[in-house]
A and B are shown apart, each in its own frame.
Chain A
Amino acid sequence: MHKRFPEPKVAWRVAIESGYTVTVQAIYYTVMLFMFFALIYDFGGAGYVATVGNEAARLAAQDAAKHIDQQAFLNTQEVRLSNDALQRAQQLVNSATAGNVQITSITINHLATRDVIAVYGTAKANMPVLGSLFGMPPIYFPIAAFAEPAYGINQEGQ
Protein backbone atom coordinates (compact mmCIF):
# COMPACT_ATOMS: atom_id res chain seq x y z
CA MET A 1 0.00 0.00 0.00
CA HIS A 2 1.32 3.34 -0.93
CA LYS A 3 1.59 5.93 1.71
CA ARG A 4 -0.80 8.73 0.97
CA PHE A 5 0.34 12.24 1.48
CA PRO A 6 -2.15 14.77 2.71
CA GLU A 7 -3.80 16.72 0.05
CA PRO A 8 -2.25 20.12 -0.29
CA LYS A 9 -4.54 22.79 0.99
CA VAL A 10 -5.91 25.15 -1.50
CA ALA A 11 -5.83 28.84 -0.87
CA TRP A 12 -9.52 29.24 -0.06
CA ARG A 13 -9.40 26.45 2.50
CA VAL A 14 -6.38 27.95 4.20
CA ALA A 15 -8.14 31.27 4.36
CA ILE A 16 -11.33 29.81 5.85
CA GLU A 17 -9.56 27.60 8.34
CA SER A 18 -7.26 30.32 9.56
CA GLY A 19 -10.25 32.57 10.10
CA TYR A 20 -12.07 29.80 11.88
CA THR A 21 -9.14 29.32 14.22
CA VAL A 22 -9.06 32.98 15.09
CA THR A 23 -12.81 32.99 15.67
CA VAL A 24 -12.58 30.00 17.98
CA GLN A 25 -9.75 31.65 19.87
CA ALA A 26 -11.70 34.87 20.15
CA ILE A 27 -14.74 33.08 21.53
CA TYR A 28 -12.56 31.07 23.90
CA TYR A 29 -10.77 34.12 25.27
CA THR A 30 -13.97 36.12 25.52
CA VAL A 31 -15.64 33.37 27.51
CA MET A 32 -12.59 32.98 29.72
CA LEU A 33 -12.39 36.71 30.38
CA PHE A 34 -16.10 36.85 31.09
CA MET A 35 -15.69 34.05 33.61
CA PHE A 36 -12.89 36.02 35.24
CA PHE A 37 -15.15 39.04 35.41
CA ALA A 38 -18.00 36.99 36.89
CA LEU A 39 -15.71 35.45 39.48
CA ILE A 40 -14.22 38.79 40.48
CA TYR A 41 -17.59 40.52 40.62
CA ASP A 42 -19.63 37.80 42.31
CA PHE A 43 -17.05 36.33 44.66
CA GLY A 44 -15.67 39.79 45.39
CA GLY A 45 -19.19 40.70 46.43
CA ALA A 46 -19.45 37.52 48.48
CA GLY A 47 -16.26 38.39 50.31
CA TYR A 48 -17.61 41.86 50.94
CA VAL A 49 -20.87 40.50 52.33
CA ALA A 50 -19.02 38.01 54.56
CA THR A 51 -16.75 40.72 55.96
CA VAL A 52 -19.54 43.22 56.47
CA GLY A 53 -21.71 40.49 58.01
CA ASN A 54 -19.08 39.64 60.59
CA GLU A 55 -18.45 43.30 61.38
CA ALA A 56 -22.18 43.96 61.71
CA ALA A 57 -22.50 40.99 64.07
CA ARG A 58 -19.65 42.43 66.13
CA LEU A 59 -21.52 45.72 66.36
CA ALA A 60 -24.65 43.82 67.38
CA ALA A 61 -22.71 41.97 70.09
CA GLN A 62 -21.28 45.22 71.42
CA ASP A 63 -24.71 46.80 71.35
CA ALA A 64 -26.20 43.86 73.23
CA ALA A 65 -23.39 44.13 75.75
CA LYS A 66 -24.60 47.61 76.59
CA HIS A 67 -28.22 46.53 77.02
CA ILE A 68 -28.28 43.68 79.43
CA ASP A 69 -31.26 43.08 81.67
CA GLN A 70 -30.70 45.42 84.58
CA GLN A 71 -33.64 44.17 86.63
CA ALA A 72 -32.52 40.57 86.31
CA PHE A 73 -29.09 41.55 87.52
CA LEU A 74 -30.51 43.44 90.48
CA ASN A 75 -32.69 40.48 91.42
CA THR A 76 -30.35 37.57 90.78
CA GLN A 77 -26.86 39.09 90.32
CA GLU A 78 -26.76 37.31 86.99
CA VAL A 79 -25.90 38.91 83.70
CA ARG A 80 -28.71 38.26 81.24
CA LEU A 81 -29.63 39.69 77.91
CA SER A 82 -32.66 41.87 77.58
CA ASN A 83 -35.79 40.21 76.26
CA ASP A 84 -35.62 41.98 72.95
CA ALA A 85 -31.91 41.29 72.40
CA LEU A 86 -32.42 39.15 69.30
CA GLN A 87 -34.85 41.59 67.73
CA ARG A 88 -32.56 44.49 68.57
CA ALA A 89 -29.52 42.74 67.05
CA GLN A 90 -31.47 41.87 63.91
CA GLN A 91 -32.65 45.43 63.56
CA LEU A 92 -29.09 46.70 63.87
CA VAL A 93 -27.63 44.38 61.25
CA ASN A 94 -30.59 45.00 58.93
CA SER A 95 -29.82 48.69 58.83
CA ALA A 96 -26.11 48.03 58.36
CA THR A 97 -26.23 45.28 55.74
CA ALA A 98 -29.43 45.90 53.78
CA GLY A 99 -30.96 42.71 55.09
CA ASN A 100 -28.23 40.34 53.96
CA VAL A 101 -27.54 39.02 57.46
CA GLN A 102 -29.87 36.87 59.52
CA ILE A 103 -29.07 36.62 63.24
CA THR A 104 -29.96 33.12 64.40
CA SER A 105 -29.04 33.35 68.06
CA ILE A 106 -27.64 35.68 70.66
CA THR A 107 -26.62 34.22 73.98
CA ILE A 108 -24.44 34.83 77.00
CA ASN A 109 -21.76 32.28 77.77
CA HIS A 110 -21.10 32.29 81.49
CA LEU A 111 -17.42 31.54 81.88
CA ALA A 112 -15.52 31.17 85.13
CA THR A 113 -14.27 34.73 85.32
CA ARG A 114 -16.34 36.62 82.82
CA ASP A 115 -19.46 36.60 80.69
CA VAL A 116 -19.23 36.64 76.93
CA ILE A 117 -22.06 37.60 74.61
CA ALA A 118 -22.07 35.50 71.45
CA VAL A 119 -23.93 36.44 68.29
CA TYR A 120 -24.39 33.83 65.56
CA GLY A 121 -25.99 34.15 62.19
CA THR A 122 -25.68 33.73 58.45
CA ALA A 123 -24.80 36.19 55.75
CA LYS A 124 -26.32 35.72 52.30
CA ALA A 125 -24.25 36.67 49.26
CA ASN A 126 -26.15 36.79 45.98
CA MET A 127 -24.44 35.91 42.73
CA PRO A 128 -25.68 38.61 40.36
CA VAL A 129 -23.76 37.48 37.26
CA LEU A 130 -23.34 33.75 37.75
CA GLY A 131 -26.81 33.50 39.25
CA SER A 132 -28.55 35.19 36.37
CA LEU A 133 -26.61 33.27 33.72
CA PHE A 134 -26.18 29.83 35.24
CA GLY A 135 -28.70 29.84 38.07
CA MET A 136 -26.02 29.72 40.73
CA PRO A 137 -27.70 29.96 44.13
CA PRO A 138 -26.67 32.50 46.78
CA ILE A 139 -23.80 31.57 49.08
CA TYR A 140 -24.42 31.54 52.83
CA PHE A 141 -21.61 32.33 55.23
CA PRO A 142 -21.75 31.55 58.93
CA ILE A 143 -20.93 34.55 61.04
CA ALA A 144 -20.05 34.84 64.70
CA ALA A 145 -19.08 37.70 66.96
CA PHE A 146 -18.38 38.07 70.64
CA ALA A 147 -18.37 40.87 73.18
CA GLU A 148 -18.25 41.28 76.91
CA PRO A 149 -20.96 43.12 78.82
CA ALA A 150 -20.09 46.72 79.48
CA TYR A 151 -21.09 48.64 82.51
CA GLY A 152 -21.78 51.63 80.36
CA ILE A 153 -21.72 55.24 81.36
CA ASN A 154 -23.80 57.29 83.73
CA GLN A 155 -22.67 60.66 82.59
CA GLU A 156 -20.50 62.40 80.05
CA GLY A 157 -16.79 61.84 80.42
CA GLN A 158 -16.86 58.28 81.68
Chain B
Amino acid sequence: MGATLRHFERGEDESFEFTMVMSPLLVMIVLIAFATVARTELMPAWTAASECARAAVATMDANLGRQQGIDAALGLLASNYVNPATAQVNVTGTWQPDTPVTCSVNYPIDVTGIPIFAQLTGGAIHVSGSVTLNTESNTSRWQ
Protein backbone atom coordinates (compact mmCIF):
# COMPACT_ATOMS: atom_id res chain seq x y z
CA MET B 1 0.00 0.00 0.00
CA GLY B 2 1.47 3.28 -1.01
CA ALA B 3 1.93 6.25 1.30
CA THR B 4 -0.64 8.30 -0.57
CA LEU B 5 -3.29 5.62 -0.26
CA ARG B 6 -2.62 5.15 3.45
CA HIS B 7 -2.88 8.88 3.97
CA PHE B 8 -6.13 8.99 2.02
CA GLU B 9 -7.68 6.13 3.99
CA ARG B 10 -6.65 7.64 7.31
CA GLY B 11 -8.35 10.84 6.27
CA GLU B 12 -11.52 8.90 5.48
CA ASP B 13 -11.43 7.23 8.87
CA GLU B 14 -11.08 10.55 10.62
CA SER B 15 -13.89 12.10 8.62
CA PHE B 16 -16.15 9.19 9.46
CA GLU B 17 -15.28 9.41 13.13
CA PHE B 18 -15.80 13.15 13.15
CA THR B 19 -19.22 12.73 11.55
CA MET B 20 -20.19 10.01 14.00
CA VAL B 21 -19.18 12.18 16.92
CA MET B 22 -20.69 15.44 15.73
CA SER B 23 -24.06 14.11 14.54
CA PRO B 24 -25.52 13.25 17.93
CA LEU B 25 -24.09 16.42 19.42
CA LEU B 26 -25.73 18.52 16.71
CA VAL B 27 -29.02 16.69 17.16
CA MET B 28 -28.90 17.40 20.88
CA ILE B 29 -28.12 21.08 20.32
CA VAL B 30 -31.02 21.34 17.89
CA LEU B 31 -33.34 19.66 20.41
CA ILE B 32 -32.24 22.09 23.12
CA ALA B 33 -32.84 25.03 20.80
CA PHE B 34 -36.30 23.73 19.97
CA ALA B 35 -37.20 23.10 23.61
CA THR B 36 -36.06 26.57 24.60
CA VAL B 37 -38.02 28.29 21.85
CA ALA B 38 -41.15 26.17 22.21
CA ARG B 39 -41.37 26.45 25.99
CA THR B 40 -40.85 30.18 25.91
CA GLU B 41 -43.47 30.77 23.25
CA LEU B 42 -46.20 28.66 24.85
CA MET B 43 -47.02 31.04 27.67
CA PRO B 44 -48.19 34.07 25.65
CA ALA B 45 -50.79 31.93 23.87
CA TRP B 46 -52.52 30.91 27.07
CA THR B 47 -52.17 34.31 28.71
CA ALA B 48 -53.58 36.03 25.62
CA ALA B 49 -56.55 33.64 25.63
CA SER B 50 -57.07 34.31 29.33
CA GLU B 51 -57.01 38.09 28.94
CA CYS B 52 -59.19 37.83 25.87
CA ALA B 53 -61.82 35.85 27.78
CA ARG B 54 -61.71 38.23 30.73
CA ALA B 55 -62.23 41.22 28.47
CA ALA B 56 -64.90 39.50 26.42
CA VAL B 57 -67.13 38.63 29.39
CA ALA B 58 -66.92 42.14 30.81
CA THR B 59 -69.88 43.20 28.71
CA MET B 60 -73.25 41.83 27.69
CA ASP B 61 -72.97 43.12 24.17
CA ALA B 62 -71.76 40.42 21.76
CA ASN B 63 -70.06 42.73 19.27
CA LEU B 64 -68.43 44.79 21.96
CA GLY B 65 -67.35 41.69 23.87
CA ARG B 66 -65.84 40.09 20.81
CA GLN B 67 -63.94 43.24 19.92
CA GLN B 68 -62.73 43.75 23.50
CA GLY B 69 -61.49 40.17 23.61
CA ILE B 70 -59.63 40.41 20.33
CA ASP B 71 -58.06 43.74 21.30
CA ALA B 72 -56.93 42.35 24.65
CA ALA B 73 -55.41 39.24 23.08
CA LEU B 74 -53.57 41.09 20.33
CA GLY B 75 -52.31 43.70 22.77
CA LEU B 76 -50.94 41.02 25.05
CA LEU B 77 -49.27 39.18 22.19
CA ALA B 78 -47.65 42.40 21.00
CA SER B 79 -46.29 43.05 24.48
CA ASN B 80 -44.77 39.55 24.43
CA TYR B 81 -42.99 40.15 21.12
CA VAL B 82 -45.39 37.97 19.16
CA ASN B 83 -46.40 39.51 15.86
CA PRO B 84 -50.16 40.13 16.18
CA ALA B 85 -50.53 40.02 12.40
CA THR B 86 -49.74 36.30 12.42
CA ALA B 87 -52.13 35.46 15.26
CA GLN B 88 -55.67 34.15 14.96
CA VAL B 89 -58.04 35.11 17.76
CA ASN B 90 -61.44 33.47 17.84
CA VAL B 91 -64.09 34.55 20.35
CA THR B 92 -67.31 32.55 20.53
CA GLY B 93 -70.33 32.85 22.77
CA THR B 94 -73.91 34.06 22.97
CA TRP B 95 -73.40 36.76 25.61
CA GLN B 96 -76.57 35.77 27.37
CA PRO B 97 -76.38 36.08 31.17
CA ASP B 98 -74.15 33.41 32.74
CA THR B 99 -73.25 31.67 29.49
CA PRO B 100 -69.78 30.60 28.38
CA VAL B 101 -67.59 32.68 26.15
CA THR B 102 -64.57 30.88 24.71
CA CYS B 103 -61.50 32.66 23.47
CA SER B 104 -58.94 30.75 21.39
CA VAL B 105 -55.59 32.16 20.37
CA ASN B 106 -53.37 30.53 17.78
CA TYR B 107 -50.11 31.73 16.27
CA PRO B 108 -47.03 30.25 14.60
CA ILE B 109 -43.64 29.98 16.26
CA ASP B 110 -40.84 30.87 13.89
CA VAL B 111 -38.36 27.97 13.82
CA THR B 112 -36.55 28.92 10.64
CA GLY B 113 -33.38 29.36 12.67
CA ILE B 114 -33.42 25.76 13.92
CA PRO B 115 -32.08 23.68 11.03
CA ILE B 116 -33.79 20.30 11.24
CA PHE B 117 -37.11 21.55 12.59
CA ALA B 118 -37.22 24.25 9.94
CA GLN B 119 -37.18 21.59 7.22
CA LEU B 120 -39.56 19.26 9.02
CA THR B 121 -42.18 21.86 9.88
CA GLY B 122 -41.90 24.30 7.03
CA GLY B 123 -40.46 26.95 9.32
CA ALA B 124 -43.33 27.33 11.74
CA ILE B 125 -44.95 25.45 14.59
CA HIS B 126 -48.41 26.52 15.71
CA VAL B 127 -49.20 26.97 19.38
CA SER B 128 -52.63 27.66 20.77
CA GLY B 129 -54.41 28.45 24.00
CA SER B 130 -58.07 28.43 24.88
CA VAL B 131 -59.93 29.77 27.92
CA THR B 132 -63.66 29.75 28.66
CA LEU B 133 -65.29 32.12 31.11
CA ASN B 134 -68.91 32.86 31.87
CA THR B 135 -70.58 36.19 31.32
CA GLU B 136 -72.15 38.09 34.19
CA SER B 137 -75.19 36.47 35.69
CA ASN B 138 -76.95 39.78 36.36
CA THR B 139 -78.01 38.61 39.79
CA SER B 140 -76.55 41.46 41.71
CA ARG B 141 -79.52 43.44 43.00
CA TRP B 142 -78.60 43.47 46.65
CA GLN B 143 -81.78 44.66 48.30
Contact = CB atoms under 8 A, between A and B. Distances in A.
B60 A73 contact: no
Interface in B65-79: none
A37 B25 CA distance: 12
Interface in B11-64: 17, 20-21, 24-25, 28-29, 31-32, 35-36, 39-40, 42-43, 46-47, 50, 53-54, 59-61
Nearest to B59: A156
Contacts, number: 100
Interface residues of A, number: 39
A48 B39 contact: yes
A150 B60 CA distance: 16
B109 to A, nearest CB: 14
Nearest to A95: B132
A106 interface: no
A104 interface: no
B25 A152 contact: no
Interface stretch (A38-46, A108-116, A139-147): A38-46
Nearest to B140: A152
Contacts of A96: 46, 50, 130-132
B28 A37 contact: yes
B54 A30 contact: no
A136 interface: no
B81 interface: no
Given A30-B25, A156-B61, A59 B31 contact: no
9 contacts: A30-B25, A40-B32, A41-B35, A73-B142, A95-B131, A96-B132, A151-B142, A153-B60, A154-B141
Given A47-B39, A56-B131, 12 more contacts: A19-B17, A33-B25, A33-B31, A33-B32, A34-B31, A36-B32, A37-B35, A59-B53, A59-B131, A95-B132, A96-B46, A156-B60
